[in-house]
């Protein structure tokens, strides 16, 4: 993706999130993003603790039978439909022997979603996921915006994940993953790591159920995440409704900060 495209996408997300944030007035429970940032940078979410200020020193249907060959399950090639339930098939992945048309050994899933966290925080996210035979890679960024007396507070959370499929059939794909976390706010950047488990289920045309659960550490805080969606396929496009939960837990003092709420989005399967 070109630099121009990245800047344009960032500008579009910023405008959309600012508009959502302004729709929700600041409340007594506001400043959650500030507390979450304090937890990541200092290990404490105490609201009376001196806020860390930015400085120059801040770190910035098909049959499940084998296609033959008797090889290892991890080495056996898997193939994908152009999108779930394409051509009247039930499911998504399939052995080559069950394919009557051109096979695809790699699939790409792109998504865009948005929502409100706890009535006062706007949230938007983009993701790109590449699926292969038993392996996959995912890049996901989520941006949060909260109105305050100081102006709009911004936090970005990036995830770079690599995963291994424990089960990969037409009806479901179960994976474990690990990767890098990237926290961005006005005080700079913090990095960390996470691990978790994910699940995509294709119960019946046109439905798709997706879940993932992860835990990790970023900066001086622990992070627990849970996401679940129900999707409806229209050709290669999936329309989603669901819930996303993020808990930022300080390791020194103070209470955890929850950034949870409903989401709506779209996914493109290619």
pLDDT in tens, 164-178: 999 888 899 999 999
Q: What pLDDT is recorded for position 62?
A: 43
Q: Is the pLDDT of residue 247 over 60?
A: yes
The pLDDT confidence band at residue 15, using thresholds 50, 70 and 90, is: low
Q: How far apart are CA 231 and CA 212, in angstroms?
A: 14
% of residues, the chain, pLDDT over 90: 53
The pLDDT confidence band at residue 16, using thresholds 50, 70 and 90, is: low
Residue bearing the bigger pLDDT, 221 or 95: 221
pTM: 0.77
pLDDT in tens, 135-156: 999 999 999 999 988 889 999 9
Q: Is the pLDDT of residue 19 over 70?
A: no
Q: How far apart are CA 36 and CA 10, in angstroms?
A: 22
Where are the chain's structural domains? 3-45+73-269
Task: Give the mean model confidence (pLDDT) for residues 3-24.
Answer: 52
Burial of 57 (0-12, 13-18, 19+ CB in 10 A): exposed
Q: Is the pLDDT of residue 192 over 70?
A: yes
Q: What is the mean pLDDT of the chain?
A: 81
Q: What pLDDT is recorded for position 50?
A: 42
Domain 3-45+73-269 annotated CATH 2.40.160: yes
């Amino acid at each position: 993706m070109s630099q121009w495209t990245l800047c344009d996408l960032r500008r579009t997300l910023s405008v959309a999130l600012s508009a959502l944030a302004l729709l929700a007035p600041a409340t007594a429970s506001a400043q959650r993003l500030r507390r979450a940032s304090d937890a990541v940078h200092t290990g404490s979410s105490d609201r009376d603790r001196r806020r860390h200020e930015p400085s120059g020193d801040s770190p910035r249907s098909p049959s499940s039978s084998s296609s033959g060959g008797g090889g290892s399950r991890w080495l056996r090639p898997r193939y994908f439909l152009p999108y779930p339930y394409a051509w009247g098939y039930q499911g998504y992945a399939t052995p080559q022997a069950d394919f009557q048309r051109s096979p695809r050994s790699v699939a790409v899933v792109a998504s865009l979603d948005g929502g409100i966290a706890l009535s006062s925080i706007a949230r938007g996210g983009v993701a790109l996921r590449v699926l292969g035979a038993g392996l996959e890679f995912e890049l996901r960024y989520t941006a949060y915006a909260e109105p305050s007396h100081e102006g709009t507070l911004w936090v970005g959370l990036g995830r770079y994940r690599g995963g291994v499929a424990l089960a990969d059939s037409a009806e479901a794909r179960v994976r474990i993953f690990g990767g890098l976390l990237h926290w961005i706010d006005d005080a700079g950047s913090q990095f960390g790591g996470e691990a978790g488990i994910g699940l995509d289920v294709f119960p019946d045309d046109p439905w798709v159920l997706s879940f993932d659960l992860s835990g990790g550490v970023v900066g001086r805080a622990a992070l627990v995440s849970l996401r679940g969606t129900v999707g409806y396929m229209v050709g290669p496009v999936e329309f989603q409704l669901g819930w996303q939960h993020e808990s930022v837990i300080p390791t020194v003092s103070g209470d955890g900060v929850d950034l949870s709420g409903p989401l709506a989005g779209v996914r493109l399967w290619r």
